[in-house]
Structure 1
Amino acid sequence: MAIPLLEYAPLSQNNRVAGYEVPGDEQPRIFSTDNLLSATDLDNLIEAAYRQIFFHAFESDRERFLESQLRSGQITVREFIRGLALSNTFTGSFYNLNSNYRFVEHCVQRILGRDVYSEREKIAWSIVVATKGRAGFINDLLNSDEYLENFGDTIVPYQRRRVLPSGASELPFNIKSPRYDEYYRAKLGFPQIIWQTIVRRYTPPDKQPKAGDPALFASMAQSINPTGNPPQQISPYNIDYEKAVPYRRR
């Protein structure tokens, strides 16, 4: 018998109210198969899905079979997102290198497009991961009412609240939630402290020499190291002035 999902609620009533923001640069761009005009639009939609789930997909990380099914209309965008979340790349980069709590946080951010409400929500979904497995947890997120109401079968998930009520912009998920947990970051050996014995000096751009500045040629002039000719040591007693003075001959 499956354990029912533990009940959880937002910590603030503001999370229940739909956001009202003036459109600007921080508003997310919505990629949907409902308004595709060309094959390029579908390419952009696929790239947006990779950015949302993987943050970045190398050539070896791309799911060509899923892309082919999406292009031919055999699967929906929701099924494409399901395939990416269950892929070997997402499993090896997020599931294998994080605890269940951190994995739940990553999936809620990338699939539902928001932060977890509280620790109680992390615990609730981590129980689902422990009882139903990774695939059952992903399926429950994609089949939830929250996902269907906001994205449905045609819209790529996105970070829904980039603009906070105070007017400040919320950081993207990939910046404030690193891929690796603290334990695995320490195990992999980063961040590393690098000691430098050479002191690097910083010169402001306004004080850097411009083209034609003699300072740019100082090192070149010093590297030439020219040597002049020593003066001749001639005694005035050895000079025959009568023969040295020119005169006109008839």
Structure 2
Amino acid sequence: MTIPLLEYSPVSQNQRVAGYEVPGEEQPRIFSTENLLSPSDLDTLIEAAYRQIFFHAFAADRERFLESQLRSGQITVRDFIRGLLLSNTYRRSFYDLNSNYRFVEQTVQRVLGRDVYNEREKIAWSIVVATKGIVGFVDDLLNSQEYLDAFGYDIVPYQRRRVLPGRTEGELPFNIKSPRYDEYYRGKLGFPQVIWQTTVRSYVPQDKKPKAGSPAQFLDMARSISPRSNPPQRISALNIDYERAVPYRK
């Protein structure tokens, strides 16, 4: 008997609030197979899918077979996203190096285009991962009514309503808010490393740097030299014995 998904209450996030802003450069670009005009547009759509799921795909991370099926129309964009989520790259980079809770958080961000509502949603989807595995978890996300209403079968998922009008800053991108590796694995892999510097470095533009032969290059060397000279003797004129100071000639 399959355990039903644990109920969780949604909260008011940006994507759940009706938007009245005028589309502009700050709005997310929607990639869909419904409005493709040339083969280069399909290449751009594939790159957007890699960027959404992997953030960056190297040559060894690309799924050539899935790309060929998408180009020939054998699969939809939703099927292509499913193949990327079930690939060895995604499993090795996200599932193997994170806990189930963090894996759920990162996958929900990339698939549904929003943050998890609360800890209860993390627990609910973590139960799905534990009982159905990664395949069942990914299928439940892609078959959810939220995904079908937001992206359907032809749209690449994206971060919904990241920028709001009237705010100085929008929501941070998911790749910055929740990096690929957890804190434990970041320390285990050796990054980030904290380097303490005792000297304060200042930036000097290239046009203001001294050129070859400039006296400014020798200014520090001149300041480092501290010559020592004999200080002048301070003798009062009242203490001088002129009778003995003048040589006597015999």
TM-score bin (small chain): 0.7 to 0.9
Q: What amino acid maps onto 2:11 in structure 1?
A: L
C-alpha spacing 1:8/1:127, structure 2 compared with 1 (3 Å): same
TM-aligned CA deviation for residue 186 of structure 1: 1.8
Instruction: Establish whether residue 155 from structure 1 lines up as the match of residue 131 from structure 2.
Output: no
Percent of pairs with identical residues: 75
CA RMSD of aligned residues (A): 2.3
**2:81, 2:96 → 1: CA distance?**
19
Q: What amino acid maps onto 1:28 in structure 2?
A: P
Contact conserved, 1:26 with 1:169, CA < 8 A, in 2? no
User: Equivalent residues in 2 for 1:205-216 (5 A)?
Assistant: 205=205, 208-209=208-209, 216=212
C-alpha spacing 1:38/1:195, structure 2 compared with 1 (3 Å): same
Q: Please name the residue that 1:132 is paired with.
A: 132
Q: Please name the residue that 2:23 is paired with.
A: 23
Q: Please name the residue that 1:12 is paired with.
A: 12
Q: Please name the residue that 1:235 is paired with.
A: none
C-alpha spacing 1:216/1:128, structure 2 compared with 1 (3 Å): same
Contact conserved, 2:105 with 2:115, CA < 8 A, in 1? yes
Instruction: Establish whether residue 201 from structure 1 lines up as the match of residue 201 from structure 2.
Output: yes
Could you give the per-residue CA deviations for residues 46-70 of structure 1, whole angstroms, max 9, x where no partner exists?
Answer: 0000000000000000000000000
Q: What amino acid maps onto 1:125 in structure 2?
A: W
Aligned length: 217
**1:24, 1:50 → 2: CA distance?**
24
Q: What's the TM-score once normalised by structure 1's chain length?
A: 0.80
Q: What amino acid maps onto 1:163 in structure 2?
A: V
Could you give the per-residue CA deviations for residues 44-95 of structure 1, whole angstroms, max 9, x where no partner exists?
Answer: 0000000000000000000000000000000000000000000000000001
**2:158, 2:217 → 1: CA distance?**
60
Q: Please name the residue that 1:189 is paired with.
A: 190
**1:165, 1:127 → 2: CA distance?**
37
TM-aligned CA deviation for residue 221 of structure 1: 9.4
TM-aligned CA deviation for residue 207 of structure 1: 8.3
| Structure 2 unaligned spans of 5+ | 219-250
C-alpha spacing 1:100/1:165, structure 2 compared with 1 (3 Å): farther
Q: Please name the residue that 1:33 is paired with.
A: 33
| Structure 1 unaligned spans of 5+ | 223-250
Q: Please name the residue that 2:68 is paired with.
A: 68
Q: What amino acid maps onto 2:8 in structure 1?
A: Y
**2:17, 2:132 → 1: CA distance?**
32
Q: Please name the residue that 1:218 is paired with.
A: 214
TM-aligned CA deviation for residue 208 of structure 1: 2.0
Instruction: Establish whether residue 170 from structure 1 lines up as the match of residue 166 from structure 2.
Output: no
**1:13, 1:187 → 2: CA distance?**
34
Q: Please name the residue that 2:59 is paired with.
A: 59
**1:203, 1:62 → 2: CA distance?**
40
**2:120, 2:8 → 1: CA distance?**
6
Q: What amino acid maps onto 2:177 in structure 1?
A: K
Secondary structure, counterpart of 2:114 in structure 1: coil
User: Equivalent residues in 2 for 1:38-117 (5 A)?
Assistant: 38-117=38-117
Q: What amino acid maps onto 1:94 in structure 2?
A: F
**2:15, 2:195 → 1: CA distance?**
43
Deviates most, 10-19 or 113-122: 10-19
**2:101, 2:164 → 1: CA distance?**
25
Q: What amino acid maps onto 1:181 in structure 2?
A: D
C-alpha spacing 1:13/1:77, structure 2 compared with 1 (3 Å): closer
Q: What amino acid maps onto 2:95 in structure 1?
A: Y
Q: What's the TM-score once normalised by structure 2's chain length?
A: 0.80
